[in-house]
Chains A and B, each alone.
Chain A
Amino acid sequence: EPEVTQTPSHQVTQMGQEVILRCVPISNHLYFYWYRQILGQKVEFLVSFYNNEISEKSEIFDDQFSVERPDGSNFTLKIRSTKLEDSAMYFCASSDYSAPFFGPGTRLTVL
């Protein structure tokens, strides 16, 4: 069964550094998403992406965040200058016209 994959599974970085989280969505899907979950809190929507552009973003997705689909298979989330409060699980998801399917997540730890 096709699935969303994410790399790395765990990323440790220093405050102020840039990180890129990578996702390979399900191959025939058209919509791509990033979510995050701070430890003990709910899953929060960050951004959705369709037709090579952002279709919706939340108030969390500020100028330090960016997304890109650099080729036909990868979908990335870049955090330009990480802060301690960016420590969280980051989930990628993809969908056709229905329910999004989620990847296993990347645990980001900012020291």
Chain B
Amino acid sequence: DAKTTQPTSMDCAEGRAANLPCNHSTISGNEYVYWYRQIHSQGPQYIIHGLKNNETNEMASLIITEDRKSSTLILPHATLRDTAVYYCIVRQYNNNDMRFGAGTRLTVKP
């Protein structure tokens, strides 16, 4: 099962930053943190991943604490189209499966 803990739901105002937390206190040294999202019943969409350094791409930023026991996904300027379920997943880099938990349902409001 998923080795992460996320809030069940969050709201965010359109145009503001959405900060989605994730706890992964049992993460091991060779495990990465991955973030995906799922809009309605579409296929999960890859967002970003990282090991220990903070990462940024065109979609989001990933902030990982120094002890690696938690992380935060940041959507800098949330839009209505960012309304989705966001999944934080911990796994080894080239492990053969990605195990999804319940995720956080983010609702971006006008």
Which residues of A come within 8 Å of B, CB atoms?
4, 31, 33, 35, 37, 42-45, 48, 50, 55-56, 58, 89, 91, 93, 97-105, 107
B42/A48 in contact, CB under 8 A: no
Residues of chain B from 30 to 51 with CB closer than 8 A to chain A in the complex: 34, 38, 41-46, 49
Q: A42-B101, A98-B49, A99-B49 are in contact. Are A91 and B44 (CB under 8 A)?
A: yes
Closest chain B residue, CB of each to CB of A100: B98
Specify which of B38, B44, B93, B94 lies most central, judged by the most chain A CB atoms within 10 Å of its CB. Answer: B44
Residue with the highest number of chain A CB atoms closer than 10 Å, among B49, B98, B101: B98
Q: Is the interface of A mostly helix, strand, loop or mixed?
A: strand
With CB as the reference atom, state the residue of chain B lying closest to A89. Answer: B41
17 additional A-B pairs beyond A48-B97, A89-B41, beta carbons within 8 Å, are: A31-B94, A31-B96, A35-B100, A42-B100, A42-B102, A44-B100, A45-B97, A50-B96, A56-B96, A56-B97, A100-B98, A101-B46, A102-B46, A104-B42, A104-B43, A105-B41, A105-B43
Partner of A102, one of B34, B43, B49: B43
A63–B81 CA distance with the chains assembled, in angstroms? 40
- 25 A-B pairs within 8 Å (CB atoms) are namely A4-B43, A42-B100, A42-B102, A42-B103, A43-B87, A43-B100, A44-B100, A45-B99, A50-B96, A56-B96, A58-B97, A89-B41, A91-B44, A93-B44, A93-B98, A98-B49, A98-B93, A98-B94, A99-B46, A99-B49, A99-B98, A102-B44, A103-B43, A104-B42, A104-B43
CB within 8 Å of A: which residues of B?
Answer: 34, 38, 41-46, 49, 87, 93-94, 96-103
Residue among A99, A100, A103, A104 facing the most chain B CB atoms (10 A cut-off): A99
Tally inter-chain residue pairs, CB-CB below 8 A.
Answer: 56
7 closest residue pairs by CB, A with B = A102-B43, A48-B96, A43-B100, A56-B96, A97-B94, A55-B96, A45-B97
